């Protein structure tokens, strides 16, 4: 498979030892960092080992969200999405790999070691998922009305199953109304906390300045948005906006769940989330999230009733969107140990 020569200058600057495996690892990492992360924090650090060739993936706790995500749950989910993206990127470059999750109990931020295996045939499926990595982006816009094709949604649920998690698809109005109520409670609860608003404001970026992380707020609002977010409790407005988005712009709401709620579950949930998103993209659909309802303990507990009592890790909305905005990433060389 060819690599776009315009993509980034990571490889030249890193001056890797000129072995093909090392070059493949760097190319795969360059692709894998397109993985989604909360507030686009990109909370990962990589090491590259020789003999046997391996990538080590570590959580970058300096990029943790201490107020919104005090347990680090979403930090590890984000690292899990990176891990799955890396598996896909290696397969698309004809490399098998062996994964050890949490390989060192003494080092809980050591998420995984990915040992590079034999050369393997590159399948059509692997190339389709690699293409989806490049195309996928979060779409917070209104999705088209109308039912979604059942076979598409069951393909997404199957992709999640294969990663050891489950996806509950909420298509009925009463189910979505319950989610909307809980999202509204969570919006108000977070917005009334000045520390939450302050942390969110720290990750907002104006389009000027070429930020490589965080959430870019486009247009002239980008310059004042951090101040607005810090200063005003907009809980009622957010709740009303999210309620309208669920009813009028989200044909499907989906709950990604696990049985238990350990650090290993969070990593696995991240891998399952990546698998879901790449399948959604491959099916020509879009997705975005309602993290607040999982971040607030009481609303998260209430969501379990919609998911057979399982532990909810991610709430997604799925539909046909129209945005094509690509968010920024830091270069791989800044993420190496």
Ligand X SMILES: Cc1cc2nc3c(=O)[nH]c(=O)nc-3n(C[C@H](O)[C@H](O)[C@H](O)COP(=O)(O)O)c2cc1C
Ramachandran region, residue 311 (left: φ > 0; alpha: ψ -120 to 50; beta: rest):
beta
Report in angstroms how near the CB of residue 248 gets to ligand X at its nearest.
17
Can you tell me whether residue 182 is helix, strand or coil? helix
229 and 67 Cβ atoms separated by less than 8 Å: no
State which residue, 36 or 321, has the beta carbon closest to ligand X.
36
Report in angstroms how near the CB of residue 152 gets to ligand X at its nearest.
20
DSSP labels, 113-172: EEEEEEE-PPPHHHHHHHHHHHH--B--SPPPPSPPPHHHHHHHHHHHHTTT-EEEEE-S
Report in angstroms how near the CB of residue 15 gets to ligand X at its nearest.
28
Can you tell me whether residue 173 is helix, strand or coil? helix
Q: Write out the two tokens for 30.
A: 């360059």
The 8 Å CB, 24+ separation contacts for 221-227 are 225/201, 226/201, 226/202, 227/201
State which residue, 24 or 41, has the beta carbon closest to ligand X.
41
Report in angstroms how near the CB of residue 320 gets to ligand X at its nearest.
17
Binding residues for ligand X (CB under 6 A): 36-40, 74, 77-78, 81, 137-138, 140, 215, 288-291, 314, 327
Say what the alpha-carbon torsion angle 200, 43, 293, 164 is, to the nearest 10 degrees: 170
State which residue, 45 or 53, has the beta carbon closest to ligand X.
45
In the chain, what is the straight-line distance between the N-terminal and C-terminal CA atoms, in Å?
Answer: 28
Q: In whole angstroms, give the CA distance from residue 37 to residue 137.
A: 11
Report in angstroms how near the CB of residue 127 gets to ligand X at its nearest.
20
Write the CB contacts of 161 (distance below 8 Å, at least 6 apart in sequence). Answer: 167
State which residue, 79 or 91, has the beta carbon closest to ligand X.
79
Report in angstroms how near the CB of residue 121 gets to ligand X at its nearest.
29
Report in angstroms how near the CB of residue 128 gets to ligand X at its nearest.
18
State which residue, 27 or 295, has the beta carbon closest to ligand X.
295
Report in angstroms how near the CB of residue 113 gets to ligand X at its nearest.
22
Q: In whole angstroms, give the CA distance from residue 45 to residue 111.
A: 10
State which residue, 140 or 202, has the beta carbon closest to ligand X.
140
State which residue, 116 or 278, has the beta carbon closest to ligand X.
278
Q: In whole angstroms, give the CA distance from residue 295 to residue 291.
A: 6
State which residue, 58 or 205, has the beta carbon closest to ligand X.
205
State which residue, 116 or 143, has the beta carbon closest to ligand X.
143
Q: Helix-strand-coil percent breakdown of the chain, rounded to 5? A: 45, 20, 35
Report in angstroms how near the CB of residue 149 gets to ligand X at its nearest.
23
Q: In whole angstroms, give the CA distance from residue 121 to residue 91.
A: 8
């Amino acid at each position: 498979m060819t690599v776009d020569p315009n993509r980034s200058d990571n490889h030249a600057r890193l001056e890797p030892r000129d072995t093909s495996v090392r070059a493949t690892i760097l190319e795969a990492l360059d692709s894998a960092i397109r993985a989604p992360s909360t507030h686009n924090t990109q909370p990962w650090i990589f090491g590259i080992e020789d003999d046997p060739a391996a990538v080590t993936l570590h959580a970058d706790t300096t990029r943790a969200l201490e107020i919104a995500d005090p347990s680090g749950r979403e930090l590890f989910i984000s690292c899990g999405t990176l891990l799955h993206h890396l598996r896909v990127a290696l397969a698309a470059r004809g490399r098998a790999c062996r994964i050890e999750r949490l390989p060192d109990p003494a080092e809980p931020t050591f998420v995984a070691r990915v040992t590079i295996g034999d050369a393997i045939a590159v399948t059509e499926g692997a190339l389709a998922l690699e293409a989806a990595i490049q195309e996928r982006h979060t779409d917070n816009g209104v999705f088209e009305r109308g039912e979604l094709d059942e076979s598409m949604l069951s393909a997404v649920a199957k992709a999640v199953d294969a990663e050891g998690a489950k996806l509950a698809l909420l298509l009925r109005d009463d189910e979505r109304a319950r989610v909307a109520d809980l999202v509204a409670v969570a919006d108000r609860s977070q917005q009334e906390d000045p520390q939450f608003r302050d942390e969110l404001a720290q990750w907002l970026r104006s389009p000027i300045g070429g930020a490589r992380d965080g959430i870019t707020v486009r247009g002239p609002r980008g310059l004042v948005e951090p101040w607005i977010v810090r200063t005003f409790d907009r809980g009622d407005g957010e709740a009303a906006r999210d309620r309208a988005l669920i009813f009028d712009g989200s044909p499907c709401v989906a709950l990604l769940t696990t049985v238990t709620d350990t650090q290993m579950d969070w990593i696995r949930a991240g891998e399952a989330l990546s698998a879901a998103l790449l399948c959604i993209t491959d099916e020509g659909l879009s997705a975005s999230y309602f993290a607040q309802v999982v971040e607030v303990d009481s609303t998260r507990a209430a969501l379990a009733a919609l998911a057979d009592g399982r532990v909810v890790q991610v709430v997604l909305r799925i539909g046909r969107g129209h945005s094509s905005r690509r968010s920024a990433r830091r270069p791989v060389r800044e993420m190496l140990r």
